[in-house]
Amino acid sequence: MHLIELNQLVKIYKNDEVETPVLHGLTFSIDKGEFVAIMGPSGSGKSTLLHVIGFLDEYTSGSYRFEDQEANTYTGDDTAHIRNKKLGFVFQSFNLLPHATVFENVQLPLLYSDIPESEWEKRTRESIEKVGLSHRTDFDVTRLSGGEKQRVAIARALVCSPDVIFADEPTGNLDSKSGGSVMQTLQDLNEKHGHTIILITHETYTAEHAKRIIRIKDGLVESDTEVSQRRHTDGGILMK
Amino acid sequence: MRFKYSLKTAFKGLEQNRARSFLTILGIVIGVTSIILVMSLGQGAQNLILDQVKGLGSRTIIVGAGREPTGPSDAGQIFSDSLKQKDYDLLQRRENTPSVKMIMPIVFGSASAAYQSETYSLTIFGASPLFGNIFDLSLKSGTFFTEEDIRANSKYVIIGNKVREQLFGADDAVGQTIRMKGYNFRVIGVLAEQGQSAFNFDEAAIIPYTTAQNYVLGIKYFNRFVAEATTDALVDSAADEIKLTLRESHNITDTTKDDFFVITQVTLASSLSAITSVLTIFLAAVAAISLVVGGIGIMNIMLVSVTERTKEIGLRKALGATYRNILTQFLLEAVMLTGIGGITGILLGAALSWGISTAIRSFSTIAWTFSFPVSAAILGLVVSGAIGLIFGLYPARTAARKSPIDALRYE
């Protein structure tokens, strides 16, 4: 059983009777524990793909099975619970709650979960620890640097112990040094803690932190390759 | 989501726009304040009136000349001379009015009284010796006049305590002579202080009704008869006996054409409280209009807030918030807004009403008491909460229906 299994997945946007096909029939699968980068130029449909497999958007035809169940059989509340329990999101623009502390931001998904309240504080602190921001726990997020903000977002994605973490251009708004540390964090989560990570990016050097790269062009899979020589970030400098 | 955190989230949402939240709830505050104020003052007025009516005595029956005014067009004054000596004679007969223990006629008018260089404006009551008995008045000094004084048209007067204070100061009044309407009256008694009551006897002079009719007022009729029923239970039958006797005497067959009216404590209290209740309800309804306007203001601001926070809504949904979670969050914000407005309004309304009561007491002789109906406070809270729910529902549904991805993309 694959964690994620796509078969001829098609997504067509309909806007005022104008149909815009974005995904033309994608077929691939991702297993537990993988670190996959989905690459493509802008307009290739990679963000749409992430939204569909992240249960944020619906697909038009084809099949998307998550944990062996067809995704469009879930109701609205089911998808909310899946997003909460099984998926974690890291966005390009961080999407943190302003006027709130690191702790409050990381705790946010727990408010919507069925995890008992007694575990909330422990889980929140553990998540912050995993991304190395324990010393910033009670800081207001507006006081953090871009890289730190993105690591808060990663901690938030981790807090409900999801099966998959989706990262949509996580380094897009960061300078190369903080971008590097964010990628390092994601890599650690995959290697040391066994989290499945799906990364969306248009930069090759970012994609090469992953173990596998799926290239998408014009809504179709262009290539699907293992990364022979992975990049690691050491002290903010990209190394091969 | 846990309720505690929902409350916290809603509160944070409001706190981030403190000035706007404050301005938004002003409408609700003003609406609830006016409702509370009107209801509290209405209750105060009612209490005041009922207190005065109680001063009438539970067995007392008042018969007035003319028709009881039922509306502005009603020319009640036409029959103002309808109560005559003949009626008094008939009413005094036990076979006509077996339930009546005693009855006396009253005439009244205003006059100014003079003693040496002091003058004082007062009300003259022409009454019978039963006066003190029926109105439960006691004398501070001196005596009442007698039946003999009635027959003799004696120029004797019993004065109220305030009249004594104004005319005589610390001097003894009994035995002195005061001048009213060109006649000299000997003061034979001073009433004990009454305080606030149905009639202001503190500022009155009481003389034999014959003297009042023949010398002071120059009239041949009575303004009122005041009767006392033998027991509390017989008040209604006594009133009926009086009505029958008077109709007989005046040859009235159609009860709607009565040229007199009969009031008991019960009928007076119920007709007066009906008037104040109608007024209170009317004014509260006017005040309630501002609550609706306030509610529309809440809806407007909530819609702005939902649009502004589209991205936040998208984020919350992406992190697992359900339709219900988002709906609850925004409904709670609206209810919290109106709830805070409602509580503020209740406190403000009570404070204003208290201030007005205090002002009335200190700047006038009216014995107004502050009263704060709990029902008004509960009503204020329930109504403001309901306004939050009703006017918050549409914005909250708008928020909860947003698709997470559209909301996240919103810039």
| Angle, CA of A23, A57 and A190, to the nearest 5° | 85
Whole-number pLDDT of residue B68: 63
- Asked if pLDDT for residue B15 goes beyond 80, the answer is yes
| Pairwise CA distance, residues A127 & A139, whole Å | 15
| Pairwise CA distance, residues B63 & B262, whole Å | 5
| Pairwise CA distance, residues B104 & B110, whole Å | 20
Whole-number pLDDT of residue B338: 92
CA distance A143 to chain B (A): 17
The mean pLDDT of B227-247, rounded to a whole number, is 90
Nearest CA to A185 out of A163, A202, A209 is that of A209
| Pairwise CA distance, residues A68 & A32, whole Å | 13
Does B402 lie at the interface with A, CB-CB under 8 angstroms?
A: no
Does A227 lie at the interface with B, CB-CB under 8 angstroms?
A: no
CA distances from B353 to B34, B48, B287, B377 (A): 10, 15, 15, 13
> What is the token pair recorded at B120?
């004082």
Whole-number pLDDT of residue B76: 46
The mean pLDDT of B358-375, rounded to a whole number, is 85
**Residues on chain B touching A113 (C-beta within 8 angstroms):** 320
| Pairwise CA distance, residues A156 & B260, whole Å | 86
Q: What is the pLDDT of residues B95-150, one digit of tens each?
A: 889 999 999 999 998 888 998 888 899 999 999 998 888 888 888 888 889 999 99
Close Cβ partners of B57 (under 8 Å, ≥ 6 residues apart)? B134, B135, B136, B228, B265
Q: What is the 3-state secondary structure (H, E, C) of chain B?
A: CCHHHHHHHHHHHHHCCHHHHHHHHHHHHHHHHHHHHHHHHHHHHHHHHHHHHHCCCCCEEEEEECCCCCCCCCCHHHHCCCECHHHHHHHHCCCCCCCEEEEEEEEEEEEEEEECCEEEEEEEEEECCCHHHHCCCCEEEECCCCHHHHHCCCCEEEECHHHHHHHHCCCCCCCCEEEECCEEEEEEEEECCCCCCCCCHHHEEEEEHHHHHHHHHCCCCECEEEEEECCHHHHHHHHHHHHHHHHHHHCCCCHHHCCEEEEEHHHHHHHHHHHHHHHHHHHHHHHHHHHHHHHHHHHHHHHHHHHHCHHHHHHHHHCCCCHHHHHHHHHHHHHHHHHHHHHHHHHHHHHHHHHHHHHHHHHCCCCCCCCCCHHHHHHHHHHHHHHHHHHHHHHHHHHHHCCHHHHHHCC
Contact present, B41 and B350 (Cβ < 8 Å): no
| Pairwise CA distance, residues B178 & B155, whole Å | 10
- Taking only residues 37 to 76 of chain A, the set having a beta carbon closer than 8 angstroms to any beta carbon of chain B reads 51, 54, 56-57, 76
For B102, other C-beta atoms within 10 Å of its C-beta total 14
> What is the token pair recorded at A150?
């993105």
CB contact under 8 A, A108 and B16: no
Whole-number pLDDT of residue B79: 64
Q: Could you say which of B311, B312, B319 has the minimum Cβ distance to residue A112?
A: B319
CB contact under 8 A, A99 and B5: no
The mean pLDDT of B175-195, rounded to a whole number, is 89
**Residues on chain B touching A100 (C-beta within 8 angstroms):** 12
Contact present, A173 and A151 (Cβ < 8 Å): no
CA distance B15 to chain A (A): 10
Close Cβ partners of B401 (under 8 Å, ≥ 6 residues apart)? B323
Closest chain B residue by Cα to residue A94: B315
Question: Hey, which bits of chain A come out as E strands?
Answer: 4-15, 18-30, 35-39, 61-66, 69-70, 87-90, 164-168, 196-201, 212-217, 220-226, 232-234, 237-239
Whole-number pLDDT of residue B273: 85
Contact present, A215 and A39 (Cβ < 8 Å): yes
- Taking only residues 313 to 332 of chain B, the set having a beta carbon closer than 8 angstroms to any beta carbon of chain A reads 314-325
Does A109 lie at the interface with B, CB-CB under 8 angstroms?
A: yes
> What is the token pair recorded at A216?
């998408």
What is the average pLDDT score of chain B? 87
Partners of B205 in the β-ladder: B124, B159
CB contact under 8 A, B12 and A99: yes
**With bands split at pLDDT 50, 70 and 90, how would you rate the model's confidence at B45?**
confident
**Residues on chain A touching B314 (C-beta within 8 angstroms):** 95
> What is the token pair recorded at B387?
């306004």
Closest chain B residue by Cα to residue A110: B1
**Residues on chain B touching A108 (C-beta within 8 angstroms):** 316, 319
Can you list the residues of chain A whose pLDDT is less than 50? 236
Residue type, B38: V
Residue type, B365: T
**Residues on chain B touching A89 (C-beta within 8 angstroms):** 318-319
What CA dihedral angle connects B252, B257, B261 and B263, to 10 degrees? 100
CA distance A111 to chain B (A): 5
Tell me the Cα Rg of chain A.
Answer: 18
- Asked if pLDDT for residue B408 goes beyond 90, the answer is no
Whole-number pLDDT of residue A35: 94
- What is the distance, to the nearest Å, from the Cα of residue B409 to the centroid of all Cα atoms in its chain? 61
- Asked if pLDDT for residue B228 goes beyond 60, the answer is yes
Whole-number pLDDT of residue A231: 80
**Mutant choice from B319, B329, B408 vs A, greatest count of A C-beta within 10 A:** B319
| Pairwise CA distance, residues B129 & B150, whole Å | 8
A184: helix, strand or coil? helix
Contact present, B161 and B151 (Cβ < 8 Å): no
Whole-number pLDDT of residue A196: 94
Q: What is the pTM of this model?
A: 0.74
| Angle, CA of B377, B30 and B333, to the nearest 5° | 80
For A224, other C-beta atoms within 10 Å of its C-beta total 14
Nearest CA to B368 out of B42, B89, B73, B82 is that of B42
**Residues on chain A touching B312 (C-beta within 8 angstroms):** 97
Does A180 lie at the interface with B, CB-CB under 8 angstroms?
A: no
- Taking only residues 16 to 35 of chain B, the set having a beta carbon closer than 8 angstroms to any beta carbon of chain A reads 16
Contact present, A9 and A26 (Cβ < 8 Å): yes
Q: Could you say which of A57, A81, A91 has the minimum Cβ distance to residue B320?
A: A81
What are the structural domains of chain A?
Answer: 4-230 (3.40.50.300)
A25: helix, strand or coil? strand
Closest chain B residue by Cα to residue A99: B16
> What is the token pair recorded at B384?
């403001």
Whole-number pLDDT of residue B340: 92
CA distance B290 to chain A (A): 34
**ipTM greater than 0.95, yes or no?**
no
Sheet holding A164-168, edge to edge: A87-90, A164-168, A196-201, A35-39, A212-217, A220-226
Q: Could you say which of B318, B322, B324 has the minimum Cβ distance to residue A89?
A: B318
A117: helix, strand or coil? helix
CA distances from A127 to A105, A185, B130 (A): 11, 12, 94
Give the position of tokens 């109608």: B278
Whole-number pLDDT of residue A236: 47
Q: What is the pLDDT of residues B50-107, one digit of tens each?
A: 887 777 778 889 898 887 655 555 454 556 788 889 899 999 888 889 999 999 999 9
Whole-number pLDDT of residue A239: 55
Residue type, B323: Y
CB contact under 8 A, B319 and A99: no
Give the position of tokens 């994605």: A157
Closest chain B residue by Cα to residue A158: B319
